[in-house]
Structure 1
Amino acid sequence: MHLVRLGVVLAVSASAGAVPAAAAVAAPQQDGGSYRYWSFWERGGSGSWKYATQGPSVLRPEDGSVLGFRFALSENSQDAAKPRGSADFAAACADTRERKGRKRVALRLDFGTAADAPDGERPPKSRTACASVDADANAAEALAGVAKPLRYNSDALLCAVEGYPARGCGEQVRGEGGSREDSRPGGDGDVGSGADGDGTVGLGPVAGIAAGAAAIAVLAAAAVRQSRRRG
């Protein structure tokens, strides 16, 4: 499993007692199957999607920002499918007036394809919404403002948006390859790299701060044991 730089921030926040509703950790990297989960994206100034480098409860978008959530079946964060379709702030928020002390954030909600869906379920139609939230609100609060009901598991992993999917949460699915039919080079639905320009792996499933801190604690303990053996 790849750990991202945000992990240190998560550990510090946890020790300070700040436990957000949903943060983010790296996507699973094990071989032998794909994972079905919601991923989190930011729309850059160039109009392209980039894997978010902060979790939804950490990221505080500015007024006029465009965020994306995509449900898909992916092997890891480096082959995760981007949100598809239109995600223009002016169009999404044209009917949402500006208000003092609040900000507007456009969100693209892509529920994936039939190939991504759990057995017996059909993905809802993807859409773009405009959230009007407090000026200091984070991305998780913006999502909650337009896409209820949300479902989280006991580790605060985001499992469902608008109740989809009805069951399951970031589970491994062996023998399935994910949203390959969406991989059009240069298109909004192409499979995106989870690596930033500096080679840092992007964030995967939208997970809780406790999970990130726990993973770092395990690694730290292993490092201590290894140093003792060497001593």
Structure 2
Amino acid sequence: MATPLRRTLGALGALVLALLVVAGTARTADAADGYKYWNYFHVEGGKYAFAQTGPADFTPKDGTVEAYRYGLSTAADGLPPRTDATTYTVEDICAGTEAGSGEKLVGVLLDYGTAADADGGQTPPAPRAACAAVPTAANGQQVLDAVADLRLDKGLTCGIDGYPASGCSVTVKNPPSAAAAATVDFALPEAASATASPDAAGTADQAASETDDGGVPWTLIVVVVVVVAIGAASFVLSRRGKNL
């Protein structure tokens, strides 16, 4: 028969074990939580470096690229944009744009994420790149504000270009396993697209080739020649008719 002391020790042991189980379960649940938010990165050495501060507390250097990706993240190193960090350089993004006196050029990659991560039935905008020509001392938030409409809350970037329309860093309990993300294309700014597009140069070359040394299109010359020939033929036929 168990003594009171043994019963007491057994009860205490069971209580300690239960507390350990509860604590372990709580830690597991916390670790499993995910967050939907705008993940913020710097592009360094051809790789994405998850930002350790908010954009307002970081000053990008001239000629660098900043990157943002909205989505559900469960990893400590964030959810990177769906393109390689070396695909779009600042030279690509800012082609055709020049920095003024006291300004710097910073490329910005904006990945609005997938439909699976969308909130409230919203459709994520297509990924795009933007070039910010901003004062040299501009911080990351000022860079972003120069190329997008921002919704902020206590220093947090909650929405970019109205996406998502509401909420800020939403907690997701027991999130699904992260799916492999396919690479996507980012739309370049119009200035960069025009600089990089061979069609624009081809159209200009074609227009130049259609002019003679005097600057008159050869097609107009052909039309004039045809009209003159028809007029001459009509004149000859009318003269023959009078002589008959």
Task: Identify the TM-score tier after normalising by the shorter chain.
Answer: 0.5 to 0.7
Distance 1:145 1:178 in 2: 35
| Residue pair 1:108, 1:128 contacting (<8 A) in 2 also | yes
Q: What is the identity percentage for the equivalent residue pairs of Structure 1 and Structure 2?
A: 36
SS of 1:141's equivalent in the other structure is: helix
Distance 1:127 1:174 in 2: 30
| Residue pair 2:103, 2:133 contacting (<8 A) in 1 also | yes
Change (3 A) 1:66 1:42: same
5+ residue gaps, structure 1, are 1-28, 190-231
Change (3 A) 1:117 1:179: farther
Cα deviation, residue 76, structure 1: 4.1
Distance 2:60 2:137 in 1: 8
Distance 2:177 2:127 in 1: 17
The residue that corresponds to 2:226 in the other structure is none
The residue that corresponds to 1:68 in the other structure is 67
The residue that corresponds to 1:40 in the other structure is 40
Distance 1:123 1:188 in 2: 13
Cα deviation, residue 161, structure 1: 0.5
Amino acid paired to 1:84: R
SS of 2:109's equivalent in the other structure is: strand
SS of 2:36's equivalent in the other structure is: strand
Distance 1:117 1:94 in 2: 32
| Residue pair 2:54, 2:155 contacting (<8 A) in 1 also | no
Q: Is 2:170 the partner of 1:171?
A: yes
The residue that corresponds to 2:223 in the other structure is none
The residue that corresponds to 1:159 in the other structure is 158
| Higher helix residue share | 2
Distance 1:161 1:151 in 2: 6
Change (3 A) 1:161 1:129: same
Cα deviation, residue 156, structure 1: 2.6
Amino acid paired to 1:82: P
Amino acid paired to 1:152: L
| Residue pair 2:56, 2:141 contacting (<8 A) in 1 also | yes
5+ residue gaps, structure 2, are 1-28, 186-244
| Residue pair 2:68, 2:110 contacting (<8 A) in 1 also | yes
The residue that corresponds to 1:113 in the other structure is 114
SS of 1:31's equivalent in the other structure is: helix
Return the TM-score normalized by structure 1. Answer: 0.61
The residue that corresponds to 1:82 in the other structure is 80
Return the TM-score normalized by structure 2. Answer: 0.58
Rg larger in structure: 2
SS of 2:70's equivalent in the other structure is: strand
| Residue pair 1:104, 1:132 contacting (<8 A) in 2 also | yes
Structural RMSD (CA): 2.2
Query: Higher relative CO (CA 8 A, sep ≥ 6), structure 1 or 2?
Result: 1
Matched residues, number? 154
Cα deviation, residue 39, structure 1: 1.2
Amino acid paired to 2:108: L
Distance 2:66 2:107 in 1: 6
Following TM superposition, the consecutive aligned residue runs of length 4 or more in structure 1 with deviations greater than 3 angstroms are none
